[in-house]
Amino acid sequence: MAIMLTAGLAWRGGDFEVAVVDRAGGEAVAPTVFSGAHTGELIDLLRECATRAGGALDCVVESTNGVLDGHLLAAGLRVYRADPWSLPARAAHGSVPARALTAADPAALTRLGPGTGSLVGREAEYAVNVASSAGAEGELIGQGRYFERGGGERREVALTFDDGPHPVYTPLILDILRRYGATATFFCVGLYAAAHPDLVARIVDAGHSLGNHTWSHPYLPDLSRDEVLRQVAATGEALARASGAAPGLVRPPYGARTPDVLRWLVEPGLTAVLWDVDANDWAGPGVDAIVAKVTGAVTAGSIVLMHDAGGERSQTVAALPRILEVLRERGFTFVPVDPGYLS
């Protein structure tokens, strides 16, 4: 008979904490801490627990930990999201503790899937928040602090990659971009930028630009002003240590926003950059679908959203050369998101 296990997965600073308990709440694995550079070892531990439990392992994350769920799902693990109204208070720069996540009410958990995204079950709330942000967007557009696409005067397109850097997929994408003479922008999460500063430096040395994608890829509407500012500041500091300068661009995870969130994001002097073309590669729709989605939607001035981390990204890697070839044949050049492109 399978032994049901529950793993709580928390983050604090640059580390992940794992707690695994059995059905009675007894400790099945001593609480273990992994740095962001050792996500693979964390997943190996969870796979071992799942094997021991005959597959009966439930992994629980919360809404400020969006850097991890895609990797867990790609490893074939069962993943659930706990929302803040069912949890105790978070740490100042961290999530709810791992042990508290194992004790979350099962009735309050939402199961995640590879094709459903991290915000499944909260789509209506997301849509209301985005719609309510139109006024703030207009205000920031007038200040030159919010963009969803470039000016479009030249036949240029900006490819952007979110959620990295990743030790496997980021180098592969950099190699492809170099082969085609294309430059891009990488919106990095701070936890992984701090874990892989060599990859951040490689991105910049190759002539690409950086953007701030927050520290732990949280659903920002769940955070306070102080938490949002800390997410952005910590990421800027990690990117500055690795590259020599903090980027001036910021992108909210999932594009999630409220009027307050948008104003908090730009408060440190940053410019918020979203996109007008979503490759939908995070959902793993297939290489052909990714190519068709991008090449069918790009116009002069487009900003394209793709991903070099956050899950299994081999489809993105396979699609990228075809995207570059098709768009280059149509006369597009590939440029980073910078003030000249956005003006």
Which residues are designated catalytic? 162, 307
Residue 147: CA atoms inside 13 Å, Cβ hemisphere, count? Answer: 24
Rg over CA atoms, the chain: 20
- Distance, CA of 7 to CA of 49 (rounded, Å): 9
Q: What residue spans of 224-313 are helical by DSSP H?
A: 225-243, 259-266, 287-297
Distances (CA, A) of 21 to 50, 171, 267: 12, 37, 42
- Distance, CA of 14 to CA of 197 (rounded, Å): 13
Nearest to 97 by CA among 24, 217, 224, 8: 8
- The single-letter code of the amino acid at 57 is L
Distances (CA, A) of 158 to 113, 172, 186, 280, 329: 29, 18, 11, 16, 16
* Burial class of residue 233, CB neighbours in 10 A (0-12, 13-18, 19+): middle
What proportions of the chain, in percent to the nearest 5, are helix, strand and coil? 45, 20, 35
- Cα end-to-end span (Å), the chain: 63
Nearest to 250 by CA among 319, 100, 264: 264
| 161 in Cβ contact with 173 (< 8 Å) | yes
- Distance, CA of 141 to CA of 275 (rounded, Å): 14
What is residue 292's three-state secondary structure? helix
